[in-house]
Structure 1
Amino acid sequence: MSRPTDRDRPWVSQAIRRIEADINRSADTHLIRLPLPHAPGIELYLKDESSHPTGSLKHRLARSLFLYALCNGWIGPETTIVESSSGSTAISEAYFARLLGLRFFAVMPRSTSAEKVATIAFHGGEPHLIDGGNVSDAAQSLAGEIGGHYMDQFTFAERATDWRGNNNIAESIFAQMALEDAPVPAWIVCGAGTGGTSATLGRYIRYRTYPTRLCVADPDGSVFHRHHADRTVQGVPACGSVIEGVGRARVEPSFIPDLIDRMIAVPDAASIAAARMTSARLGRPCGGSTGTNVWACLHVVEEMRARGETGSVVTLLCDSGERYRSTLYDDGWLAARGIDLTEAETRLAALFGTLA
C-alpha cells in the first residue's frame, strides 16, 4: 500500500478539518429515562446513539478511526479503505469515506441484514459479502490485494478514542447525568463488539475516580464473557448469535477485561424480547444489541432492588430497529429459527410492567 507523502499533507489537513466540521454540526445524543414501575428508587437511562448521522453508536468509532489513521499517516487522497464489520461500523465508515472522497469496501458475513447492506451502499460504500470464514482475515486479505488500508476496528477501537474526555461517550454520559437525582451512576452497562466502548468507559470512570461500576453484556455464544472469567480462553468455534454488532468468536485486541467489573451472558431470545419491549415503551424500534444491554440492566436492577439499593443505571441504545425489520422484528424469521420469546417477556414485564 502506498503511504501519503509530503505532497499529501495539505489534503490530510483538509480531511481532518472536514471531520472536525462534521463533529461541530452534530449535536450530542439524547439521554432517555426508561421508567421502572416495579423498582422504586432506581432510575434507568438509555443513551440514544441512534440519533447520530449514520444511526448508531459506531458513528463515534468510525470518526475516531479515521482521525487516528489520518494522524498516523495511513490515509491519503488515493487510499482505498477496507473494513470488517457486521454492518453498523461499515455504514459509519462509508459515510466518512464519502466525506473525504475515498473508496470504501465493507467485508461482512452474507447473513448481515439486508437493511444494513442497503444503507452501506446508500452512503457510497461497496459491500463485500462472504460465506463463512473469518471476516477480519478476509478484510485484511482484500486490503492487501487492492493496495488499500485495512481500518481494523477490532485492533484500534480501544486506542483511537481519547478516553480522557474530548466529548467521548463517557464524558457525555456524566455531563448529561449532572442534574439527575442520582447523578453518578451506580452502573453503566454496554455491550462488547470490538471492546472499544467498554475500554473508553472503564478508563474514564477510573480517570475521574467515580465509584461507578462497569457491566458488559455479551451474547451467550460469544467468547468475551468466557475470557473475562478465565483469561486462558481465547476463542470459541463460532459465536453463533443472531444479534449483530456484539459478541465475537475470538478475543479481539481492543477488549480489555481488567477494566470490566462484571459480565453478563445474554441468550438471543432475551436480547430480542428486551429490544421489542424497549421499542414498545419508546414508541420506536431499537436494535438487538440494545436489547442485550437492557437485559443485562434487568439483572443489575433486580439485584440492586434485592439489596435495598437506590441509584441510577445507564446503558446504550445502539441503533435503530429499522435495520432489523426483516429479521429480529419478523415473527416468521424467529419461528424458523426456533426462537421463543415467552419466558423472557414474562421476566421483563415483572420489572418494567405491561403496556395498557
Structure 2
Amino acid sequence: MTTAPLTSSESAPALALGSDSELDVDRRDPAYRGWLREAVRKVQADGNRSADTHLLTVPLPAEWGIDLYLKDESTHPTGSLKHRLARSLFLYALCNGWVRPGRPVIEASSGSTAVSEAYFAKLIGVPFVAVMARTTARSKIDLIEFHGGTCHLVDNPCEVYEVSARLAAETGGHYMDQFTYAERATDWRGNNNIADSIFRQLEREPHPEPAWIVAAAGTGGTSATLARYVHYTQRATGICVADPENSAFFGGWLGQDPSVTTTVGSRIEGIGRQRVEPSFILGAVDRMMRVPDAASIATIRVLEGVLGRKCGASTGTGVWAAFKLVSEMKARGERGSVVTLLCDPGERYLDKYYSDGWLAEQGIDIAPYQERVERFLLTGELNR
C-alpha cells in the first residue's frame, strides 16, 4: 500500500517531549470528512441501486437428476464479476483513509477490475489509472477510457505490480492492489456477498445445497469468499477452483506452496497468474482442476448455442470444470446441483476467443474439445 506524502501544510511540528508529556492531537479535516462521507454514500448507493444478479439454469437431461447453474455476474453495471470486488475495494480503501480527494487511484489489472474501478473512481470524482499488459483486449481499454480512466500499458505482465506502486508514489495517489486486498475487502460472512446470494437464490430449488461451487481464480478473492462463507455457515458444499494453462495457482495449491511462479502468462484474460497472489487462500479450497485453454474456448463456443449469448473464456474455464463434476456425479449415480459463474460477456473478446484467426495464431485447436462438450450435453460423458 502506498500512502500519500504529507504536504508542508500537513506536516506535524517538531516537539520536545518530556517523559511525562501528555499529547492530544486531532487531525480531523472537516472538508475531507465531508468528502469522505459523500464518497462512501455514493459507493454504497451503487450497491443499493443494483438488483441481485440472476442464477441461470444450464439445461441438462432431467433423468440425470443433476442441476447446473450459472451465476450471471455480467449483468452488473460494469458488466462483470469484478464490479462486486471494485465496490468492496473502494469502500475498504475509503474507510481506511487511503483514497483522498483529487489524488489518483492506481490499479494493476488484466482489465475487468480496472473497468469497474474506473467506474467507481468517476463516481466519487478521483482520477484513475489502470496498469495492464499491452495484450489486454482493446474493448476493455475502451471501457476504462469510457468511464474516465487512463491506461498505462506494459510489455511484461509481471511488471504491473511494480509499475503501479511506482506511479502511486510519483503521483501521491493510492495503489489499490486488488491482488492483496481482494480477500479481505469483502465481508465473507454475509451482507449479500456472492456466496450469500447464491444460497438464497437456491432456497426453492430441488437441491438447495450444491455439491460444488466452481470459481476460476484471478485474485483469489472470490474463491476465498465462497469457501469462508461455506465453512462459516457449516455447509457440506465443496469449493473447486478451475485454473487455466500457465497459471501458478494450481501448482501452489497442489504443494501448498505460495512461492510457486510460472514463466508464461495466462491467455485467458481475468484469471490465472504467474505468481500465487496473496488473496488466494490455499487452505480454503477443496479441489482444483487445470483446464486447457482450448477446452475453455471450446466450451464458450458450444455454450453460445445453449444459452443464446456469448461469454468470456474465464466462464468457459469454470463451466468445463463444472461439466467434469457433473459427469463424475452422474457416473456415481448421485443427484444434486453444481454452481459456477458467468464472469463477463463474450463481446469483449470478439477479436480473441471468438476469432478463428486468433486461435490459429496461438496454435489452439478447439475442435476435439467442442466434440467432447457436445457429447457431454447429450450423454453426461466428458472424457475422451
Report the TM-score when normalising by structure 1: 0.97
Alignment length, in residue pairs? 354
SS at match of 1:264: strand
Counterpart CA distance in 2 for 1:349 and 1:105 is: 42
2:101–2:126 contact (8 Å) kept in structure 1: yes
Structure 2 residues not aligned, in runs of 5+: 11-26, 380-384
1:189–1:215 contact (8 Å) kept in structure 2: yes
Task: Describe the shift of the 1:233–1:157 C-alpha distance in structure 2 as closer, same or farther (beyond 3 A).
Answer: closer
Partner residue in 2 for 1:161:
186
Find out whether 1:138 has 2:163 as its counterpart: yes
Partner residue in 2 for 1:33:
57
Partner residue in 2 for 1:109:
133
Residue 39 (structure 1) shift = 6.9
Residue 238 (structure 1) shift = 2.6
Find out whether 1:51 has 2:75 as its counterpart: yes
SS at match of 1:28: coil
SS at match of 2:110: coil
Letter in 2 for 1:6: R
Counterpart CA distance in 1 for 2:304 and 2:265 is: 24
Residue 239 (structure 1) shift = 4.0
Of residues 226, 249, 253, the one that matches 1:201 is 226
2:57–2:69 contact (8 Å) kept in structure 1: yes
How big is each residue's C-alpha offset from its partner over 1:286-309, in whole Å with a ceiling of 9 and x where there is no partner?
101000000111111111111111
Counterpart CA distance in 2 for 1:152 and 1:145 is: 16
Counterpart CA distance in 2 for 1:47 and 1:232 is: 30
Structure 1 residues not aligned, in runs of 5+: none
Partner residue in 2 for 1:124:
148
Letter in 2 for 1:146: T
SS at match of 1:134: helix
Letter in 2 for 1:347: R
Of residues 293, 298, 306, the one that matches 1:268 is 293
Residue 143 (structure 1) shift = 1.1
- Name the % identity: 59
Partner residue in 1 for 2:87:
63
Residue 350 (structure 1) shift = 1.5
Which of 1 and 2 has higher RCO (CA within 8 Å, sep 6+)? Answer: 1
Find out whether 1:214 has 2:239 as its counterpart: yes
| Higher mean C-alpha deviation, range 212-221 or range 133-142 | 133-142
Counterpart CA distance in 2 for 1:38 and 1:225 is: 33
How big is each residue's C-alpha offset from its partner over 1:139-160, in whole Å with a ceiling of 9 and x where there is no partner?
1111112111000000000000
Residue 37 (structure 1) shift = 2.8
Counterpart CA distance in 1 for 2:119 and 2:349 is: 20
Find out whether 1:327 has 2:352 as its counterpart: yes
How big is each residue's C-alpha offset from its partner over 1:61-113, in whole Å with a ceiling of 9 and x where there is no partner?
00000000011111121221000000000000000000000000000000000
C-alpha RMSD of matched pairs (Å): 1.5
Partner residue in 2 for 1:304:
329
After TM superposition, where is structure 1 displaced by more than 3 Å over at least 4 residues in a row?
2-5
Residue 38 (structure 1) shift = 8.4
Report the TM-score when normalising by structure 2: 0.90
The 5-angstrom pairing of residues 152-301 of structure 1 reads 152-232=177-257, 234-301=259-326
Partner residue in 2 for 1:6:
28
Residue 279 (structure 1) shift = 2.1
Which structure's CA Rg is the greater one? 2
Residue 231 (structure 1) shift = 2.2
